[in-house]
Amino acid sequence: MIYQIIALFIWASSFVAGKYAFTMLDPVLTVQARLIIITLLIFPLFLRHWKKVDKSLRPQLWWLGFINYPAIFLLQFVGLHYTSAASAATIIGLEPLLIVFVGHVFFKDKARWYHWFFGTMAFIGVAILISGGRNEGEITVLGCFLVLLAGILFASCLRWTKSMINQITAPVYTAISVVLGAITCLPFTLFLTQDWVINWNWPGVAGLFYLAIFCSWIAYWLWNKGLNSTHTNLTGLLTALEPIFGVALAIILLGESVSPLSWFGIFIIISATLIASLMPKLTRKQ
């Protein structure tokens, strides 16, 4: 369990690292640089695995590489540029509910009544969170919407990703998808980058390399290592820690202030997601 908690802590800190990276690079350039750094580290693995992959699977890998890396990362980090790290981390906490709702709409995995109830409560919490931070200008509708859209995209391709991993294994998929993601990100970087100036500074460099090495590599290794020895139900509950860690780190490391109304929204979101994760176990007992 400790491996997964550390992984969640690292992922929760990604938005804080992103804010530091933004002091040096445009948000879009931050995503591209992050992917290039990972690619340089694992490119030998990519060359070894790409030759062995069935050619019929390659178009799917190109699409998955694009969706899971440039598409989701760009939405998250452009959204982060317009909102606070605390609010972005809280929105990410909605992903367990988003996975359920996407499954209900597109994959015939029927959501239960408590998913709808606590999902509604969570989105009410998002509205309260945004309302509480709009006066200070730290939390915006646009920023939260883009981060939420990234969560919906992640939830939508999760089953496709798992299916591909079952066919070619997780290490092979990771090595290939990261490199393909770095390549497919290039045209978006060319068109979406607003500021090409690099303002070199040590916090920015540290934030960028932390995103590339810890958030995109070490955290995944720790998570998968813990996954083999942690019960699935407990894993679902642990994910509720990510927004808690994220908000705490944003306040401590970035000095972000959270209004009482936004705190109330954060509490509703985290509580609703946590209770929704507990409900299957409680209903089975009954």
Please check the confidence at residue 136 and state whether its pLDDT lies above 80.
Answer: no
Interval 65-100: pLDDT, tens: 999 999 999 999 999 999 999 999 999 888 888 888
What are phi and psi for residue 230, nearest 5 degrees?
Answer: -120, 135
For residue 236, is pLDDT > 80?
Answer: no
pLDDT of residue 237: 59
Torsion 126-72-215-61 (CA) sign = positive
Contact predicate 28/194, CB 8 Å: yes
Query: Rounded to an integer, what is the distance from CA 67 to the centroid of its chain?
Result: 12
Task: Identify which of 38, 12, 22 has the alpha carbon closest to the alpha carbon of residue 206.
Answer: 22
Residues 237-254: pLDDT tens digits?
567 778 888 999 999 999
Mean pLDDT computed over every residue of the chain: 87
Q: Categorize the per-residue pLDDT at 232 as very low, low, confident or very high, splitting at 50, 70 and 90.
A: very low
Residue 227: the pLDDT is 54
* CB 212 within 8 Å of CB 73: no
pTM (2 decimals)?
0.89
Compute CA 134 distance to the chain's CA centroid, rounded to the nearest angstrom: 23
pLDDT in tens, 3-29: 878 888 998 899 999 999 999 999 999
Judged by phi (left if over 0) then psi (alpha if -120 to 50, else beta), residue 102 lies in alpha
* Measured distance CA(181)–CA(163) in Å, rounded: 18
Residue from 1, 25, 11 nearest 204 by CA: 25
pLDDT category at 286 given cuts 50, 70, 90 is: low
